[in-house]
Structure 1
Amino acid sequence: MARLQRTAPVGVPVHILLRANNRQQCFKASGDYAAFLWWLREYSEKYQVDVHAWALLEDHLHLLSTPNTAGGLSRMIQALGRQYVRFFNQQNQRSGTLWEGRYRSCLVQPAKYLLQVCRYIELNPVRLSLVSHAGDYNWSSFQLNAKGKPSALCKPHAEYLKLGETKEERTEKYLAYCEQSTNEELLKEIRDSINKGLAIGDESFKMEVEKMTGRRVRQLKSGRPLGWRKPK
């Protein structure tokens, strides 16, 4: 299919996927993970992006973030990627690119999908058999959202805050939610949306985003030409 233009409207959550080139390792030591999270905090503050969830894995990473300024998310990812590549190359006495290319992104409907995408991201280490329980993995936001570990980086979304009036209530309900079995159809929907650069949500949300941005965020239907943009 044709490559979709990325768009990140202010206030709309975005699922980000960034892979290492040729599936090589982009994180080798604990210091690599820690450095990346340090700069993620720095650049998320600089470009006014709220970070709700993340999972840093050996050859790729997931983020769930909401930009608060136009263009803030892409600037954050670009600055973060460049800074980390310089660090990683210096640490490993290498040169050249580290990332697969442009990052993949998927707009997320908050009310219906934000917590589902958050759970998907934080349970990645379990699905990859890196740990038996998500709470045992140090390089995701699970310990924050499900266990209440303090963090200056994680900014809870309004949908997460609705889980309870207190921090204890929210973490308890979110932990119970994560312990529920995940529907395979939902996993496929999330994967397809991020890999194809489509929005994840109901039709009204997708239509609203297309009207807002003038860019296609739904799967092409038969007969619709590639490169569709809304009529002016």
Structure 2
Amino acid sequence: MPRYARQRSSTGIYHVMVRGNERKSIFIDDDNKERIIDTLREKKRKNEFELYGYCIMDNHAHFLIKEETDTIDRIMKRIGISYAKYYNQKHRRIGHVFQDRFKSEEVEDENYLLAVLRYIHNNPEKAHICKRENYKWSSYNIYINGILDRELLSTHTILSILSNNQSEAIRLFKEYSQQASDVEFIDEDDIKDEFIDEKKIRDFVFNYLYINEISFSKLKEFENRGQRDKLIIALKDEFNLSTRKIGEAIGINRETIRKVLESFR
């Protein structure tokens, strides 16, 4: 499968997921989970990024990160190398710890920022482990208990979206966290895209552009927006692709694709 260029976020904010190689558990015990959190704290001290949220599961982890002095690719590379070295030494093993590249999606507005964080915190409930407030290895309790851990987490950015009054913001945060959502996120995309025929997608896009006399490079231009939107809908209808895979196929960011799909519902 070809390796696509990562879509860039105009806000510098990304929802990132890392998974254990061959989907194996790489955050096996409390020490492992504590270590990845300590690694985040260590790297954040160098002002490489802001961290808005996290959830560490046994075989994968979610992070909500804003680039500061470095790019998301370099940030995640350093985090990954540091943890992999620790993990291999501790468990007396060699080889890859993480599965391929990390997954990421751009976060372009405040509504999606809140939705992503809610999704990250709901991972333990989705996995039928425990309620979000009973899970030790996510940032949820840091938010709802008003804990100040500026070396690790930047909670003010999220809470200030809801209210300038901290108590009211925390109340609204709890309320929002309990609401249902039908938005697709990274790991749902993983499952949906697992058996996709890449050649069929490329041929479909090429034929569409040829018939409509549009070059790939001009698909993003304003005057071709209507044709772009029709292609997005066609890819969804024909292959039931995730927003991530549509974005990779035509070089359009996920947030734009999400808005187009929602407008055609």
Q: Which interval holds the TM-score relative to the shorter structure?
A: 0.7 to 0.9
**Percent identity of the aligned residues?**
24
* Corresponding position: 1:27 with 2:27: yes
Structure 2 regions of 5+ residues with no counterpart?
Answer: 194-219, 222-228, 236-245, 253-265
Give the corresponding residue for 1:154.
153
Aligned to 1:170: 169
Query: Aligned residue for 1:60?
Result: 60
The residue that corresponds to 1:190 in the other structure is: 185
Offset, 1:39: 0.9
TM-score (norm 1): 0.77
Return the alpha-carbon distance in structure 1 between the equivalents of residues 79 and 107 of structure 2: 22
2:159–2:170 contact (8 Å) kept in structure 1:
no
Mean CA deviation greater in 158-167 or 21-30: 158-167
Q: d(CA) in 1 for partners of 2:230 and 2:158?
A: 26
Q: Which protein, 1 or 2, shows the higher relative CO under an 8 Å CA cutoff with sep ≥ 6? A: 1
Contact 1:16–1:194 (Cα < 8 Å) also in 2: no
Q: 1:86 to 1:191 in 2, by over 3 A?
A: closer
Work out whether residues 147 and 175 of structure 1, in 8 Å CA contact, stay in contact via their aligned partners in 2: no
| Root-mean-square deviation (Å) | 2.8
Q: 1 or 2, which has the higher helix percentage?
A: 2
Q: Aligned partners of 2:81 and 2:231: how far apart in 1?
A: 33
- Separation in 1, partners of 2:189, 2:135: 23
Aligned pair count reads: 204
Q: Work out whether residues 160 and 170 of structure 1, in 8 Å CA contact, stay in contact via their aligned partners in 2.
A: yes
- Report the secondary structure of 1:162's partner residue: helix
Check conservation: 2:52, 2:158, Cα contact below 8 A. no
**Cα offset, 1:50, TM superposition:** 0.7
Structure 1 residue 103: deviation in Å? Answer: 0.5
Partner of 1:127: 126
Query: Is the alpha carbon distance of 1:176 and 1:78 closer, same or farther for their aligned partners in structure 2, counting shifts above 3 Å?
Result: same
- 2:89 corresponds in structure 1 to 90
Which amino acid in the other structure matches residue 26 of structure 2? C
TM-score by length of 2: 0.68
CA contact (8 A) 1:146 1:171 kept: yes
Radius of gyration: which is bigger? Answer: 2
**Partners of 1:13 and 1:110 within 8 A in 2:** no
Runs of 4+ with deviation above 6 angstroms = none
> Unmatched 5+ residue regions in structure 1?
197-209, 212-217
Letter in 2 for 1:190: F
